[in-house]
Structure 1
């Protein structure tokens, strides 16, 4: 009797626990825990995420892409765009613009052997400007061609020299005396300088002042042509 009563008591307790579990499960129990997870149909839908919208980011084209190709190098080209400032500073030295000139016949701005070299390589326009400082002056000549190869050929076959340009208080100079000259090319442009004393004094090999003025003129020309390419590159980038 005692043993039997103990078994009944155990069963009764177990029954109570089972009822409690059933009631807590909401009237249904399952050994599979995933059955209590919400189904996709039970999850409320959310609005779709917007797609990003922005322009393609690309760096500006190199300036040389413009100044080397006549199809891209379409900005206005004149003495006003090449030599816009009345004064320029090169390597800390200030020069005043005295005169400018442009010609479709390139040989009109050249003397000695330079004219035939320009003509042979198809020079289309020739621009000149003279700048003066303390009795010294340089004339910068910029020749325009249809290709980078033509400008490079002029540099390689260079024979002096660009004709000095007088005006604006600068007399005719460097026509019958020794003067300093330079030549270079950038893109489809070849450019030249001739520099010397405005009082007619020769500027020989030992004349460091005249040499520096000629180099300043060449550096100024390089900068002006490169700036032309930079301006066109920036304009294209801003238009995207």
Structure 2
């Protein structure tokens, strides 16, 4: 006999004694269904809330939210819109390109621009010269406007014909070798270059200040001639003992090459210094 769905049921023989096991099972079954419904309903509610929040975030981030609220997703007031154009002054740049820096060689190519002092110390400063690991002792120095008096052979007339203004000489020694370098000063680069190309004979050696006479009396010595800007520079190198120089005497060649390189650097330095000063001077 039954009292409807979920009602009490009687055991076999209709003894009117409740089937407690069946009742307990039915009660447990109904409890399980309620729990599943509660869990399922909670999950559904969570999904609905998440969808609403996502929609709110998307709507707030967009430009056209329907709520008209001025708050972002965090609930804080949104920053005010920045103006599309700033009223602050902006830098302006000239369309005219700046002039190129002055060429250092221009300042040593012509006496009209080369205003640096022409002295012994300007070309051969100090008492010693060091080139790499080689040290040279400076001997005698001299400066004269009588260019021909500083030469041997035909070089004197060549200097005079090209307008030589003065000659500065200095002698350096190392390990028994001595080299005299002479810088002949002209008015223009063209004059100095022509004198160097025409060079014959050579600069005369300069003794004194502890350096004995060398490269005189017919001894064989090494001679060079070069020019840079309005300066022609010459060397004569040999042994202080008077021994003739041969191509095997690397020491004499090394001294001559170092002195030639150093003189070139000193002349170029004159141009660098004057060009830098001109570039730093205020425009007039």
TM-score normalised by structure 1 residue count? 0.75
How far is the alpha carbon of 1:208 from its aligned partner? 2.1
Picking from 159, 162, 183, the partner of 1:121 is 162
Residue of structure 2 in register with 1:230 after alignment:
272
Decide which of 222, 234, 245 is 1:203's aligned counterpart: 245
Deviations 1:3-27 (CA, angstroms, capped at 9, x unpaired): xxxxxxxxxxxxxxxxxxxxxxxxx
2-structure distance, mates of 1:130, 1:59: 40
In the TM superposition, what are the counterparts of 1:1-240 in structure 2 within 5 Å?
58=99, 60-176=101-217, 177-240=219-282
Cα offsets for 1:29-81 (capped at 9, x unmatched): xxxxxxxxxxxxxxxx957657679xx85553222111102111011111021
1:239 positional shift: 1.7
Structure 2 Cα separation of the partners of residues 81 and 57 of structure 1: 33
**Equivalents in 2 of 1:225, 1:137: separation in Å?**
22
- Once the two structures are TM-superposed, the CA of residue 238 in structure 1 deviates from its matched residue by 2.0
Q: Given the superposition, is the C-alpha separation of residues 222 and 47 from structure 1 closer, same or farther in structure 2, using an over 3 Å criterion?
A: closer
Report how many residues are paired: 196
Task: Find the aligned partners of 2:159 and 2:179 in 1 and give their Cα distance.
Answer: 20
Preserved CA contact (<8 Å) 1:182 1:215: no
Deviation, 1:151, is 0.8
Larger radius of gyration: 2
Deviates more, 1:72-81 or 1:91-100: 91-100
Unaligned runs of 5+ in 2: 1-85
Give the 3-state SS of the residue equivalent to 2:242 in structure 1: coil
Distance 1:187 1:179 in 2: 27
Over aligned residue pairs, what C-alpha RMSD do you find?
A: 2.3
Q: Greater CA deviation, 193-202 or 85-94?
A: 85-94
Residues of 2 paired with 1:74 and 1:226: CA distance? 14
Whole-Å separation in 2 of the counterparts to 1:49 and 1:112: 71
Q: Distance in 2 between matches of 1:46 and 1:229?
A: 49
Higher relative contact order by CA 8 Å / sep ≥ 6: 1 or 2? Answer: 1
1:206, CA displacement in angstroms? Answer: 3.0
Instruction: Describe the SS at the equivalent of 1:146.
Output: coil
Shift of 1:109: 0.9
Query: More displaced, 79-88 or 137-146?
Result: 79-88
Q: 2 CA distance for matches of 1:49 and 1:79?
A: 55
CA 1:49 to 1:63, structure 2 compared with 1: closer, same or farther past 3 Å? closer
Measured at CA, do residues 48 and 115 of structure 1 come closer, stay the same or move farther in structure 2, by a change above 3 Å?
A: same
Deviation (angstroms), 1:132: 1.1
Separation (CA, whole Å) in 1 of partners of 2:204 and 2:276: 34
